[in-house]
Amino acid sequence: MSRPARFTLPTNSRERLRYEQRQAPPLAQLYPQLAEVRVEFDFDDGTETPPSLQTYSHFPAARSLFRYPCPCHSCDGEFDLTNYVADMAGKTKRTPRTQRFTIVCPGQRLEAKQQKSACPIRATINISATAQTGDVR
């Protein structure tokens, strides 16, 4: 009998995102000009009880991957905000940089009898980035 491997690659999208988050560089390495990136999700799925609000704060030492899973556990979708954050980091003004937009989840939900259907979740997203002030030591 062979021994199981010590490391196996993630088998689903949520596990893959957790793995990639652990491997991601810190915010200070990606965007040294930023002191904080804050991402807020407000979800709507057309029901009376939509998924809860979610907020993420990334500080200089935090591992920073700007892809987030859909809040529906049976959905394979994710919200990729990498380009939005990169755009905000590239701005030169030192005041807080903000963006607000709405995205429909691109994922598929696993329904009864192993059938998939489009995920109905819409996320209104607020991203704010705060520039570093003074020397960072």
Residue 95: per-residue pLDDT: 66
Establish if 8 belongs to a structural domain: no
Residue 135: per-residue pLDDT: 44
Residue 115: per-residue pLDDT: 83
Residue 134: per-residue pLDDT: 64
Give the amino acid at 76: D
Establish if 93 belongs to a structural domain: yes
The pTM of the full predicted model, rounded to 2 decimals, is 0.82
Q: What does residue 120 show for φ and ψ, rounded to 5 degrees?
A: -90, 5
Residue 97: per-residue pLDDT: 87
Q: How many residues are listed for the chain in this entry?
A: 137
Establish if 119 belongs to a structural domain: yes
Residue 73: per-residue pLDDT: 85
Q: Which domain holds residue 56?
A: 13-131
Establish if 91 belongs to a structural domain: yes
For 16-131, strand residue ranges (E) read 34-44, 54-58, 67-69, 78-80, 97-104, 108-110, 116-118, 122-131
Q: Are 63 and 22 in contact (CB under 8 A)?
A: yes
Residue ranges for the chain with pLDDT beneath 50: 7, 9, 135-137
Count of beta carbons in the 10 Å neighbourhood of residue 120: 14
Establish if 110 belongs to a structural domain: yes
Residue 10: per-residue pLDDT: 54
Establish if 1 belongs to a structural domain: no
Q: Where are the alpha helices (DSSP H) in 31-96?
A: 82-89
Distance CA 121, CA 98 (A): 23
